[in-house]
Amino acid sequence: MTSLAPQPLTLADRVVRNRETLSAEIDGEVVALDVARGACYGLDTVGARIWGMIEAPVAIGEICEALTAAYDVDAATCRADVLDLFMALRDEGLIDVAPSPSAIPSYAKSP
């Protein structure tokens, strides 16, 4: 039996913290824990800033725009790093991802 690889994330995908995830800020960094899965993740100061931004659903592209405005980082590097982070957080079950509206088939969209 083969398992399907998770879909890659896009800048249009919206991410939000998993409601079951517990987190705490310690000295400017964040520790996030999914008790049900036993998954724990440590986030540095930039990761902590991102964690704060996903308290409500937000597009990954919006996060990248905010980070490139706040930090001395080029857009391509920021996008790659943020997408990598969110893929890892998704794999650990610490965030939920809603596909971009354009990825939803038109027959599945509400009128």
Which position has the token pair 């083969």?
2
Per-domain residue ranges for the chain? 14-98
Q: Which residues pair with 16 in a beta bridge?
A: 96
Q: Which structure tokens are listed for 74?
A: 């080029």
Model confidence, pTM? 0.81
CATH number of 14-98: 3.90.930.60
Confidence (pLDDT) at 15: 97
CB contact at 8 A, 6 and 91 = yes
pLDDT tens-digit map of 40-73: 889 999 999 999 999 999 999 999 999 999 999 9
Residues 6+ apart with CB under 8 A from 14: 57, 58, 59, 60, 97, 98, 100
Determine how many CB atoms are found less than 10 A away from the CB of residue 16. 14
